[in-house]
Amino acid sequence: MHIGDLLIGDAILMRQGASSKRQALHIVAEAASELFGLSETTIFDALLEREALGSTGLGSGVAVPHARLAGLDRVKAVFVKLESPVPYDAVDDRPVDLMFGLFAPPTDGAEHLRALAAVSRTMRSPDFRQRLRQANTIDAISALFVQQSPAATAA
């Protein structure tokens, strides 16, 4: 799976101002709402419900909040680079500044899991995380995700 294909349109955001996990999740929900034409409240509630099961903070400043949403026809994503890391209850207790929000239709199990695995593998790369953090524009971030080949995400 090529994770760049999940980021359609204006799915990459660089934001400032989040001071908490809840605010960061709200930014993800707002972006997803605008892109997918779904209720921001519904998306935010779905993200909070998933977080209640366990933090989606993978460690090393990365979180992959995800949810299943009625109204989607396929797996879609948004990427948010926060200006300042926020406390997130990640597995390593480090704050999060890179958030890859992943959303799937309620009945799409296998594709959702493949997308989660691909995103997790890619975001575990210290080099890739560093390049994301050094990127100063949305176009630069987009180019990094596009450059990720299926072979690179499988490594």
Residues designated catalytic: 66
Strands 57-59 and 62-63: antiparallel
Q: Is 44 exposed, middle or buried (0-12, 13-18, 19+ CB in 10 A)?
A: buried
**Of 29, 98, 20, residue with least CA distance to 67:** 29
Reduce the DSSP state of residue 86 to 3 states and report it.
Answer: strand
Of 77, 80, 147, 144, the C-alpha closest to 111 is: 77
- The Cα angle at residue 63 between residues 58 and 29, in degrees rounded to 5: 155
